[in-house]
Amino acid sequence: MLPDLWRMADRHVKPARGVVAAGAGGRVADVLEGIAHHERADRAFHACEAFHEGEHAMTRALATLGAPRLSLFGHIAWELCLDGALVRREGAMRGDVQRTLAIACEVIDGESAVNAAARLHHAARKGASLLASFAPRMNRMLEELGRGAWIEGYARGDVVAERLDGIRARLGFSPMEQEARGALAALLDDAIAGADEQLDAELALRV
């Protein structure tokens, strides 16, 4: 999940292409392999026919709600619904996430593995240092992620609607009216509950 969080902390921080820091070892190597897996999964995920079918259906549904340019967000809305379906299927994920983060975020020799991985990828792409504000932002997000509520919120239409409206706001759109937000939450609840078949297709991908 780290590449997605990087973009939230700093939109310029993205995975580099190819092998990064081939000589890295220990926890840093584990995190780098997780990032490489994320990139492989992301490519396969976005090429999957089930994803495109769900995205198109979501785009059409969003267009009926009357909020300005809401249909532009069909792609990310459907991704969030698939996340919600996964959370509903897997149940409580807090313990696994907390254990993983405790290992990856432990500071060794002045730097955690998650921050070292971001630094290596950014340097491979930009040949430059990360902004000083990046690590504190990431640390705050990972701390919040470890509490569990962030993950569990993907399974609720009202929370996903709030997050989607927040993304719109960061792009300069006005907040949705309360009635439209409520209609969006109901639509997303139905989409999350109905995403199981598409989720099966996504999880069948071999990456």
**pTM of the predicted model as reported, rounded to 2 decimal places:** 0.81
What pLDDT is recorded for position 24? Answer: 85
Q: Which two tokens stand for residue 73?
A: 């967000």
Digit-by-digit pLDDT tens for the chain (207 residues) are 899 999 989 989 999 988 888 778 899 999 999 999 999 988 888 888 878 999 999 999 999 998 888 999 999 999 999 888 888 888 767 888 889 999 999 999 899 999 999 999 999 999 999 999 999 999 999 998 888 788 888 899 999 999 999 989 988 999 999 999 999 999 999 999 888 878 887 777 666
Residue 207's pLDDT is 60
